[in-house]
Amino acid sequence: MPRTALLVSTALIAALVPLSVARAADDPAPTPVDRFEGEVPFASQPADGIFTWGSDSDDPPALQLADRADAPEGAKVLSGTYDISGYGGFTHDFAATEPAHDWSTHKGIRFWWDGQDNGKKIAFEIKDGGTNGEASELWTTSFTDDFTGWKQIEIPFTDFVYRTDYQPVGGIDHVLGLTRMWGYAVTLPVGIKGQFAMDDVELYGKADQALRASVTTDAAVYPVKEGGTASVKVTVATTGSAPIDDPVTVAYETTGGTAEAGKDYKAVSGTLTFPAGTASGATQTIQVPTLKDRSAESAETIPLKLTVTGAKAPAETPQAVIDAHGLPYLDSRLPVKKRVADLLSRMSLEEKAGQMTQAERGAVGTGGDIAAYDLGSLLSGGGSTPTPDTAAAWAQMIDSFQLRAQATRFQIPLIYGVDAVHGHNNLAGATIMPHNIGIGATRDPRLAEKAGAVTASEVRATGIPWDFAPCLCVSRDERWGRSYESFGEDPALVKSMETIIQGLQGRADGSDLSRDDKVLATAKHFVGDGGTAYGSSTTGSYTIDQGVTTVTRQQLEAIHLAPFQTAVDRGIGTVMPSYSSLDIVGDGLGPVKMHARADMIDGVLKGRMGFKGFVISDWNAMDQLPGDYPAHVRTAVNAGVDMMMVPYGYKDFTATLIAEVKAGRVSEQRVDDAVSRILTQKFRLGLFEHPYADTSGASRIGSTAHRAVARQAAAESQVLLKNSGNVLPLKKSEKVYVAGSNADDLGNQTGGWTLTWQGQSGTHTTGTTILQGMKNAGGDVTYSKDASAPTSGYDVGVVVVGETPYAEGVGDVGNGNDLVLTAADQAAVDKVCAAMKCAVLIVSGRPQLIGDRLGEIDALVASWLPGTEGDGVADVLYGKRAFTGQLPVTWPKSEAQLPINVGDASYDPQYPYGWGLTTLTKAPKGGEATLRALGAAARAAERAGASSTGRKLVGEARLLVQAKVGQSITAAVSKPFADADHLLLTGRYGAAVQRLTEAYEAA
């Protein structure tokens, strides 16, 4: 709205107020915000205007200013239609180029709504503080459309609560100040096709102190050792931070709870007074002394009832908690098995059900339900972060949740989990590694372990002890939107990269888990998620993710199960089943969702493989099982799932699980097994002794040392597919023309699962793009993203193209994605490569179909998704490091070839699995005679168990073969070449050289 709209005369404002609306004599006149008469345009930041938004292109509502004879104010109203599947709504942001508005003198905000009586809740939020409407704090409330026709909705500012599920930027002050307001937003109902009309948004009423002032305590829970004193700080604060006008009194008394006055604590009561004129933020303290006795006891609670006059009371009653003490499970000197048995023997069914439950942080708000439901675990989904998204804020948030767990009877700590799948990727400023497909390309198990260690260090330093990684999927079809989460298509390669588990967890016996730089790891997704057939998914518009994997028993064992046995042998702490279904040929069961396969989870994983950790479900995965909700619960639990990830459904899950146990459909023995497994890992992590964040390692987050590991990984992940005329490495003396959509885009370079679930283009965290890396390397570089700048006068061109971020089934080919470069990328390649020698880098999560342009491209590099350290890519481009990466997946000629994998009977790719040229190292000479000698030496090394020597000999043979083959890669060359790399990974060095010899002879 025009800035003058808030400066109109009182008389005019009074004339605009509908006659039907009465106001108190001393209330200020309403202040209009939106009249919808055309004074506010449809426009977005930085302009003043109304704009729509939604989770996809179909979700934003259609808006118009419509003439309505029954308009509550003026002639027009804001009306619209909507049909929302994800989320959608509209916003009015005030102009960022003008001062923010001051709403602090009013009681609240109101507007007219044309009710449709659909029974749906409509969220209404306001924007407070910060620099503009899209960089402000969001405060939210809702009203229900359970009426017909026009109704004025009045919302006092005291009804608004700080959003914990989403904030667009770092936190301002978490206080609704109302002195710097930037607008409002409306979130429309999901799941119905609807229409709405709205009119006359205005500020109303007087902000009297009882509504403007509030009393808070510095915590909701105050744990104290028996005999100690709990100190409860009581603070008075005002909206707008003005001193209080009238006195505020706080009467307090200890009452209720499980502790006994006189025996466990000294009863206290009294009154605190904050006189008129007291500054906002003033604090006084109440002391609650506890008493010692000689008995071992569980924790006992002492609620402190507060009665407030003159201000808004705290949202909940604070309570002191006398810590549990003297019980065997608290004795860290006892073996973990004994501690688990003792604690389990004391727990009720309700407490056990809570331990088997994992909720999303956004669902529990400030955490009161943690104690109410005895919750055992919380998680952050992709992009679910505190505000601000800093290491300190993560630690503070998780500590606040852990504090809530201290109010439970046995003070069992929470275990908090995140998807740190390539570094601590939810944390802004963290070190972001290449995605797993790039790590697989390095063929460097030691580097994989280092990457895991860096990730663990940064995750644990923010108070998080559990990582939902690594993904041990064997990706068999690159149309899958998760293919970049795989180390490769060969189970032998995946197994070799599982050194990352030691990087995350430390020693296989779990003895390192309590360290401040280690986390509990998760092998996922059990089993066969990488083998789903194209077109088999029944999840929304997905084409392959969460579909059906159809295999023989032998294929299941050799391809998909093998990496999980390795993980178990390496001491993996948790395993996550797959969303997908498994159809084993000949077993007569057909496709069965993995969360229901007791034969695989309980039988194979826990039984035959000997897995001793616990099984955590995927996000709401049990909801995909057949039957009603109780059937979902008992099926998944009886199949062997120990903890259920029910982000927003934790209340229903715990109630249903308890009912199923009481009805005898889930045995108490099964529950005890699940809880024992969960408690075992909590004890091993040292959470009972140290539940709160150890932030001593926070200074290492994003440190030079950590980024050096990511830089090395980025460099080693680069796969040189073609290098005609030795275009690479570049020389610093060369004038280099750089183009392409991914040359200078950190978001595209880091891919999905970075800051948000799907990732996003642009600069969203700290790092170095490939372009900046080239400049840092000392290159003489000119950049033109679309290659529109003149191309004459350059020695060589570097065109960086590829994909934009995606995750999971959203990235499936056929779901709005393909394997072809965009028209803009193709044009950039064509223009640059026609004008000069050129190298093309493909930044992507999977191979791209580039065969039709290979003739014009001199050098081709598969860069994968290299993470935040573009300097690592520049290191190999300029020869600081050699290109050493090898293809972790087969590079197809066409989409029609997919799926295509090493070992296939018919195998004629663009580039075979294992292909990767090198620089700075010359291939051996001598042809077949040299290969025969290498073969003999390799067989001798194999017999002697000299694996390092064997790998080196096979590597020399591979270079010799690639030197002869050049770009004349035929089916006769590809199949034995790819087979050789598989044989190398399985330790059969002599056979590997033999297959390479066959490829040489076929060239």
DSSP letter for 262, please.
T
**d(Cα 24, Cα 915) in Å, to the nearest integer?**
80
**d(Cα 194, Cα 140) in Å, to the nearest integer?**
22
Based on the number of CB atoms within 10 Å of its own CB, is 37 exposed (0-12), middle (13-18) or buried (19 or more)?
middle
**d(Cα 26, Cα 389) in Å, to the nearest integer?**
43
Residue 106 region by backbone torsions, left for phi larger than 0, else alpha for psi between -120 and 50, else beta: beta
Question: In the Cβ-directed half-sphere of 23, how many Cα atoms lie within 13 Å?
Answer: 19
**d(Cα 21, Cα 195) in Å, to the nearest integer?**
26
DSSP 333-370: TS-HHHHHHHHHHH--HHHHHHHTEEEEHHHHTTSHHH
Residues contacting residue 10 through CB under 8 Å, at least 6 positions apart: 29
Classify 797 as helix, strand or coil. strand
**d(Cα 194, Cα 180) in Å, to the nearest integer?**
33
> Which of 379, 394, 468, 464 lies closest to 429 in space, CA to CA?
394
DSSP letter for 430, please.
P
CB atoms within 10 A of CB 627: 11
The identity of residue 370, as a single letter, is I
* Residue given tokens 């490769």 in the structure block: 488
* Residue given tokens 């020695």 in the structure block: 795
Q: What are φ and ψ of residue 490, in 5° steps?
A: -105, 120
**d(Cα 614, Cα 673) in Å, to the nearest integer?**
9
β-partners of residue 738 are: 783, 798
Based on the number of CB atoms within 10 Å of its own CB, is 514 exposed (0-12), middle (13-18) or buried (19 or more)?
middle
Strands 319-322 and 221-224 turn out to be parallel
Return the HEC string of 948-998. HHHHHHHHHHHHHHHHHHCCCCCHHHHHHHHHHHHHHHCCCHHHHHHHHHH
**d(Cα 471, Cα 425) in Å, to the nearest integer?**
15
Rg, C-alpha atoms of the chain = 31
Return the active site residues.
Answer: 618, 808
Which pair of tokens denotes residue 764?
């969203």
**d(Cα 415, Cα 404) in Å, to the nearest integer?**
13
CB atoms within 10 A of CB 410: 17
CB atoms within 10 A of CB 662: 11
Specify the length of the chain in residues. Answer: 1003
Classify 423 as helix, strand or coil. strand
> Which of 186, 213, 192 lies closest to 123 in space, CA to CA?
186
Long-range (24+ apart) CB contacts under 8 A made by 851-855 are: 851/893, 851/894, 851/910, 853/826, 853/829, 854/722, 854/910, 854/967
The edge-to-edge listing of strands for the beta sheet with 548-551 is 548-551, 581-584, 592-593
CB atoms within 10 A of CB 177: 18
